[in-house]
A and B are shown apart, each in its own frame.
Chain A
Amino acid sequence: MNRKFVTRVISIGGLFTLWFVVTKYQLVNPLFLPPPKDVWEGAVDLIQAGELREHIAASLWRMFMGFVVGSVTGVVIGILMGQFRLFHAAVGPLVEIIRPIPGLAWIPVALIWFGIEDASKVFIISMGVFIAVVTNTFVGVRSLDPVLVRAARSLGANHRDIFFRVVLPGSLPYIFTGFRLGVQVSFALLVAAELVGSTSGLGFLIQDARNYFRGDLVILGMAVIGALGFSITRLVEIVDRWLLRWQPTSREGTFY
């Protein structure tokens, strides 16, 4: 643990040192890679002007809304598909058609339908999250051991009990796999959508800074996205680990 921590500090510190050295001795054009000091000063300016906070708030809000809309519809439709054959027969093909369309391909149509305000980003993100969650939820419901449903029925469970006390908790590991994928997808889609058409948000910040040759702010925007992505992924992992503490093996897919 301690050794791991030290290694991490060294590796991150090493990156910053490299950055510092490369820019200090002008090994690359500062227009391409501004020195850490410039980025820091740019950050201080933006924070003092209250601009950075606004961009972060705008991005997080869109992501949050898109994630909620996409995951709630994904869980509900995924469970219905897993539980009812007729529903699966009707809705399954639609999901299959939508699934291979990359989230990015929804950007133009979302801009036409919903304009460049929040609604278009929420739509794009929710599409990406929905696909990740609906497919995993469906698999989760289908892989539930039918003997557990029998056990519940023999203990007096009605349809509602089975839904809320067996099917839902039983599919939770898969639903969370969908959530984790959804978080990654929503970050990618959010930034892409903001780069293309937006008047606020971190993607817009990067795009706008590029237009004014403010390399420092481009890097600042990217760093903030990285930090936010890291924090949110971690948060989901913590919730995930607590809710799924009944699972025998430590769960895979954690990069850190």
Chain B
Amino acid sequence: MTVSLQVNGVSKEFVDRRSKSTVRALDEINLEVQKGEVICILGPSGCGKSTLLNIVAGFLPPSGGEVRVDGRPVVEPGPDRGFVFQEFALFPWRTVLQNIEFGPVLKGMEKGDRHARARELIQRIHLTGFEDKFPFELSGGMKQRVGIARALANDPEVLLMDEPFGALDAQTRRVMQEELLKLLGETQKTVLFVTHAIDEAIVLADRVMIMTARPGQVKALLGVDLPRPRERTSPEFNELYRTMDDLIRVEVEKSLEVQDSGAAASGEGA
């Protein structure tokens, strides 16, 4: 096993513009991810899980610590880290095929090669026949399939997914989870997957990282040793679900208390 992604003591502080005070969003996060491993990050809203993902992507600089991908330190966004956005973020003026081949185009890949690669991905996400459709003509699930294919077209070392199925309905979500697992099985990508759905984390992850309320720290790192495909109704699944739910619930309550006292202090309480 080789290490694909290292998060070494990453912290992040923001300066609140109005109060001019410093807010600590992430506190000394450490994580080591093996090649091909799927890590899901769970935590109460505002715990900084998306911030962590943005730092790994290179969208935000950390205030302290560093991120290494395949041994190289992250300084800016790059094609070695594919990003899948909750809001899909497809280029509306590009067709399905053109969206998927965006990365290869930037790399200067020849037209024939990049078309072949895009078409192969389109086949794998079951969108054959939709090559020339524009994003507005697609459903949410289809859009996110394109979003995933677009990230995979660059053959990245790591796939970063920020609540990618958060904007989809429950049925579509399930289907997308299954399809993602199949895709990942074929590609052996290292994945960092942010979600707030515990069942989603258990279905997908090799390990689940649970974060504390702000400032976000690693509260627990749990391995999911259930055979795949994972049955949501199995006792083991539910046992794990309850364990994680208990861990997170405490943090959610804490974050609510912090919000309440913060609101009271600044005189913004209802």
Cβ contact within 8 Å between B89 and A150: yes
Interface residues of B in 102-137 (CB under 8 A from A): 102-103, 106-107, 134-136
Q: Chain B residues near A165 (CB, 8 Å)?
A: 102
- Is the pair B102, A154 in contact by a Cβ cutoff of 8 Å? no
Q: Are A156 and B103 in contact (CB under 8 A)?
A: yes
Q: Which residues of A contact B78 (CB under 8 A)?
A: 154, 156
| Complex: A148 Cα to B77 Cα, angstroms | 13
Which residues from chain B contact A197 at a C-beta distance below 8 Å?
A: none
Among A166-174, A185-193, A218-226, the one that faces the other chain is A166-174
Provide the residues of chain A in CB contact with B151, threshold 8 Å: 154-155
CB distance from B59 to the nearest CB of A (A): 6
What DSSP secondary structure best describes chain B's contact surface?
loop
A155–B134 CB distance below 8 A: no
Our pick among B82, B90, B91, B94 for the contact of A154 (Cβ within 8 Å) is B82
Which of A20-28, A36-44, A65-73, A241-249 makes up part of the contact surface?
A: A241-249
State the CA gap A104–B82 with chains docked (Å).
53
Task: Determine the residue in chain B with the shortest Cβ distance to A172.
Answer: B93
Separation of A155 and B87 alpha carbons in the complex (Å): 16
Choose one: B82, B83, B90, B134; the contact of A150 (CB below 8 Å). B83
A151 B136 Cβ-Cβ under 8 A: no
User: Cβ of A147 < 8 Å from any Cβ of B?
Assistant: yes
Q: A155 vs B107: C-alpha distance in the bound complex, in angstroms? A: 9
Shortest distance from the beta carbon of B96 to any chain A beta carbon, whole Å: 11
Residues of A within 8 A of B90 (CB): 151
Distance in angstroms between the alpha carbons of A247 and B85 in the assembled complex:
21
Bound CA span A150–B106, Å: 15
**Cβ-defined contact, B81 with A154, below 8 A:** yes
Known: A148-B91, A157-B106. A247 touches B59 (CB 8 A): no
Query: Given known contacts A154-B57, A157-B106, is B93 in contact with A170 (CB within 8 Å)?
Result: yes
Name the residue of chain A whose CB is nearest to the CB of B95: A246
Contacts of B76 in A (CB 8 A): 153
How far in angstroms is the closest Cβ of chain B from A252?
16
Please, how many angstroms separate the alpha-carbon atoms of A170 and B94 in the complex?
10
The yes or no answer to B51 lying at the interface (CB within 8 A) is: no
A147-B85, A169-B93 known; A153 and B77 CB under 8 Å? Answer: yes
Is B79 among interface residues, defined by CB-CB distance under 8 A?
yes
B162 to chain A, nearest CB (A): 10
Q: Is A152 in the interface zone, CB < 8 Å from B? A: yes
Q: Does A117 lie at the interface of the complex (its beta carbon under 8 Å from any beta carbon of B)?
A: no
Looking at the assembled complex, report how far the CB atom of A90 sits from the nearest CB atom of chain B, in whole angstroms: 24
State which residues 135-169 of B face A: CB under 8 Å.
Answer: 135-136, 150-151, 154, 160
B91 contacts A166, C-beta separation under 8 Å? yes
Asked if B106 and A245 sit within 8 Å, CB to CB, the answer is no
Seen from chain B, the residues whose Cβ lies within 8 Å of a Cβ on chain A are 57-59, 76-79, 81-83, 85, 87, 89-94, 102-103, 106-107, 134-136, 150-151, 154, 160
User: 23 A-B pairs, CB-CB below 8 angstroms?
Assistant: A145-B89, A148-B89, A150-B59, A150-B77, A150-B85, A150-B89, A151-B150, A152-B91, A153-B59, A154-B57, A154-B59, A154-B160, A155-B79, A155-B102, A156-B78, A156-B103, A156-B106, A165-B102, A170-B93, A246-B92, A246-B93, A246-B135, A246-B136
